[in-house]
Amino acid sequence: MVEVVAALIRSGEKFLICQRPPHKARGLLWEFVGGKVEQGESKEQALVRECREELGITVSVGEVFCTLVHEYPDICVRLTLFRCTIAEGEPRRLEHNDLQWITPSEIPMYAFCPADEEILRRIMHGER
């Protein structure tokens, strides 16, 4: 089981999604920014590091939005999604193919990683 963290970053009614690079597993699918928790890191520390590495921003990590387990053919992940706010910087594409700010009603227009489906259902049903 791999511990993974991700950030739900909102701006008004929109939230930030990132498109995976084409050469990675699940290439060109959309996801929330985040990644693996390294040994010796807390989940919150891992998320701050990942947001800095992938988007060039500093985030303030809030409460947990949800935790779920998803089994891909190649990896089993326990994903913890945190509510986050941007403390410093503007998101930039340092690793991703693309970035978008979308509203919950726009979710069906994007192909997301399967692990995110339950999260997206909750966002579409108005959970903040």
Please write the tens of the pLDDT for every residue from 1-44: 999 999 999 999 999 999 999 998 888 999 999 999 999 999 99
> Mean pLDDT over all residues of the chain?
95
Element (H, E) at 68: strand 58-71
Residue 55 predicted with pLDDT over 80: yes
Beta bridge partners of residue 86, listed in sequence order:
59
pLDDT digits (tens, 9 = 90+) for 81-125: 999 999 999 999 999 999 999 999 999 999 999 999 999 999 999
- Domains of the chain (ranges; CATH) run 2-124 (3.90.79.10)
Q: What are phi and psi of 117, to 5 degrees?
A: -60, -45
> Would you state the structure tokens that stand for residue 63, as one six-digit string?
């409460």
